[in-house]
A and B are shown apart, each in its own frame.
Chain A
Amino acid sequence: MELLNILIEITTGQGLAGLGAGAAAIGAGLGVGLIGKAALESMARQPEASDDLRANMILAAALVEGVALFGIIICLLVALG
């Protein structure tokens, strides 16, 4: 395939949506992982606060996942038309 064809395919094709979805998944994984790390460390330091920490961890995880899902929605729009 010629270089120009490849370049055109990359810039206008829908394969980039897959890359974008992967990047969004990386973002979600990093974000929620950091939240989990902080929560676990705090629970280890102060086990009696576990319940509060767990509730706030789930809340923060939901908010961060929301941001990652914006990216997923855009990739979905690209991939399906």
Chain B
Amino acid sequence: MVRHITRLIIAAVVFTAPIAAISQHESHGEEHHEEVENSHDDQHKETSNENSRETRHEAGHSDSHHYDDEHGHEEKFVAGDFIMHHIADANEIHFFGDVSAPLPMIIYVEGKGLDVFMSSDFHSEHGGHGGHVPTYATGPSTGVEYTKDENGISAKDHGEEVAIWDMSITKSVFGMLMILTLMILMLRSAAKSYARRPGQAPTGLANVLEPLILFVRDDIAYPIIGKHKADKFVPFLLTTFFFIVGCNLLGLIPFAGGFNITGTMGVTIVLATLVFIITSINGNKHYWGHLVSPPGVPFLVKFIVVPIELFGIILKPTVLMIRLTANMSAGHIIILSFVSLVFIFNNSYGAAGGVGIGVFSTLFMIFMYFLELLVAFLQAYVFTLLAAIYFSEATQEPHH
């Protein structure tokens, strides 16, 4: 046991030392790199692709994690920006350093048409650098000028603001499509293997998925909703469970672009809205009756209870949404904070401080990763469980 811990600590030291040392070196070599980059900008102005790459990922980070360049010539690590960059959605998948994959932008300008172009077309003006300058692009079909700054994307047509419908494939959308495709492939193949071998024990992928599927059906749906009524809801519960587990796990993979799908309110509000819609559609007479006149409550207390119940119809899906979002993004923020601790100490105390804190930081980060793995499954389970509880409330027969 002690042997393993010793090895873990040695590994942590070995992995954090080069990063701290390189970042120290980078901040000294910054000024030379800046001037070289600026002169390159003039030459490459025509090719917007290269321009966008260089100006956006300027300040020469090859494999260190410096993302911010606020002060222009000296690269200071700002933890808040680093963390927000990894939590927020983006129009490209940023793997590490300069390597990033652009994603298509699909923007519909009202009255003018649909623009489809790659996000690498966004380039900043001559002399701009760092992550905070606005970048510009021109729509290929409509000729509208797009501006991307920290407020989002805005469009100007001959100097006038126009309204746009931004339907771009962002990082989260791409992640969701990936998870859904994976789910369809895996579950279809499992289903076909069941059909191919009737009456025999499942093997392969079906064997792996069977405990999960039976868990959702037999331990969540059937006990809570009841055997007969649950069959209507089991497909939705299974889909939700696998989708949330997939998206949560995708956000944990280290160098795969830093997805944060379920940690954004935009995704979880849709899931909660679906639960709300299904609950409302399947609500029977007693469900709605209980809302406006709960049984067993004295008449005067009804005046207090009924507004609370009505408020609760909206509140319960909202709480569902916030619980999932908060748990996932809090986990990511904690892991990123441990990482940025190394660079904050590097800023103040040099490479020695960075390495010193890096040992403990890496160990804590590994522990947090295990916790995040647990939370990924747990939050999916809690979401599905609560959805099943709401469905059961909606379809409950009165017992007297």
B-facing residues in A59-81 (Cβ within 8 Å) = 59, 62-63, 65-66, 69-70, 72-73, 76, 79-80
Cβ-defined partner of B385 (8 Å) among A59, A65, A79: A59
A80 lies within 8 A of B326 (CB): no
State the B residues within 8 Å of A (CB): 80, 84, 319, 322-323, 325-327, 329-330, 333, 375, 378-379, 381-382, 385
A73 lies within 8 A of B326 (CB): yes
A69-B375 Cα distance, complex, nearest whole Å: 13
Query: Does A58 reach chain B (CB closer than 8 Å)?
Result: yes
CB nearest neighbor in B for A76:
B333
A80 lies within 8 A of B327 (CB): no
Report whether over half of chain A's contact residues are helix, strand or loop; otherwise say mixed. Answer: helix
A59 lies within 8 A of B325 (CB): no
Q: How many residues of A contact B (CB 8 A)?
A: 13
Report whether over half of chain B's contact residues are helix, strand or loop; otherwise say mixed. Answer: helix
A66 lies within 8 A of B385 (CB): no
Which of A58, A63, A66, A73 has its CB near the most chain B CB atoms (within 10 A)?
A: A66
B326 lies within 8 A of A62 (CB): no
Cβ-defined partner of A70 (8 Å) among B326, B329, B375: B326
Q: A66-B322, A66-B382, A73-B326 are in contact. List 15 more A-B contacts (CB 8 A).
A: A58-B378, A59-B382, A62-B375, A62-B381, A62-B382, A63-B382, A69-B323, A70-B322, A70-B323, A70-B326, A72-B326, A73-B322, A73-B329, A73-B330, A79-B80
A69-B322 Cα distance, complex, nearest whole Å: 8
A46-B322 Cα distance, complex, nearest whole Å: 36
A78-B59 Cα distance, complex, nearest whole Å: 30
A77-B3 Cα distance, complex, nearest whole Å: 44
A72-B382 Cα distance, complex, nearest whole Å: 19
A72-B381 Cα distance, complex, nearest whole Å: 22
A73 lies within 8 A of B80 (CB): no
A59-B386 Cα distance, complex, nearest whole Å: 11
A59-B80 Cα distance, complex, nearest whole Å: 32
CB nearest neighbor in A for B331:
A69
CB nearest neighbor in A for B374:
A58
A59-B220 Cα distance, complex, nearest whole Å: 12
B323 lies within 8 A of A66 (CB): yes
A44-B194 Cα distance, complex, nearest whole Å: 44
B379 lies within 8 A of A62 (CB): yes
